[in-house]
Amino acid sequence: MSHDSVIALTMGDPGGIGPEILVKALQKEKPSRRSAYLVIGSRQAFKTLCQKTGLWIPFKTLSSVSRKSLRPGHIYFFDVGEKLAGGGAFEIGKMCAGNGRSALAAIEKAADWARRGIVDAIVTAPVNKAAVRLVDRKFIGHTEFLAQKARVRRFAMMFVSPRLNVTLATIHLPLKKVSGLLTAKSILEKILLTEEMVRKGLGMRKPRIAVCALNPHGKECGDEETKVIEPAVRAARRKGIDVYGPFSADLLFHAAYHGKYDALIAMYHDQALTAFKLVAFHDGVNVTLGLPYVRTSPDHGTAFDIAYQGKADASSMLAALRLAKKALLAKCSPK
């Protein structure tokens, strides 16, 4: 990297596989001479992980964090549990308020330090949204929470893998509300954010992007394609983006998987994620576009059923960490 960088890694729900996949990823992807890692979580969770599985990383614990305290080549740890009720106590494999409180405290710290420029990227282990909502009823997910803390209005959820990249035009909505909330302006924003990420973050000089239709067979079953999606595509093309569509999603994902397009824009959550997780469940990465810093995450959940058993596959967490480093490198490289 062309300058020193700091990557924060939040533990996710302490009752799930977050601490395990975090440690496994750090064992394989050491910090470079120009980067430092800052793990944010509950000390009790990592102690329990070590006792039950033998997994451990020699963290350097910090009681306070500043940019100067984070030296390249080291892995640091900040314990959010010390100031929480119960000292960060948690329950393995259960959805509960204590777990949600610790998970949220870690995300809040990371978001604050990113806003202040203390960290350059955040890699988040999975949380249980229902557990966090027991503490913060307004919590929707990492993406919306981090966007609100960063005070950005233009943001998107994108999923990245070696053979398929897709951005969501809408995120966590009931299906019956999707059509009414799609606008040409919002779809155009997602196209522009996606093109920037693929070009700058993934290093594709002139990415080809395609946009999914909302309805089965597109215009044959509805008018959103004509009234909403096509105007967004035309506007993006006028801005010089190499974008096409809308095309029927059942054919489009096949075309993108075989290399015809570098990224897709899907209209709703499961239109994208059903196909994406089928082909990239173990190495897919969730990326938040539009933030003033890099944010990545594994594309799976907390897996309470195998927590603290040493069985968790850390491939997606490792891919998330590596993508964060790659995106930081691209941001820092001379244009």
Q: What is the CA radius of gyration of the chain?
A: 20
pTM of the model: 0.93
**What is the arithmetic mean of pLDDT over 63-88?**
91
Looking at 3.40.30.10, 3.40.718.10, 3.60.15.10, 1.10.486.10, the CATH number of the domain 1-152+291-335 comes to 3.40.718.10
HSE of 254, CA atoms in CB hemisphere, 13 A: 5
C-alpha span between 236 and 224 (Å, rounded): 17
Token code pair at residue 263? 């990224």
What's the pLDDT band for 49 if we cut at 50, 70, 90?
Answer: very high
Q: What are the start and end residues of each CATH 3.40.718.10 domain in the chain?
A: 1-152+291-335, 154-287
- Provide φ and ψ at 100, rounded to 5°: -65, -35
If DSSP codes are grouped into helix, strand and coil, which group holds residue 257? helix
Q: Give which of 238, 268, 272 is closest to 256, Cα–Cα.
A: 272
**What is the arithmetic mean of pLDDT over 317-333?**
87
CATH number attached to the domain at 154-287: 3.40.718.10
The larger pLDDT score, comparing residue 172 to residue 131, is at 131
Give the length of the chain. Answer: 335
- The rounded mean pLDDT for the chain is 94
pLDDT tens-digit readout, 218-250:
887 889 999 999 999 999 999 999 999 999 999
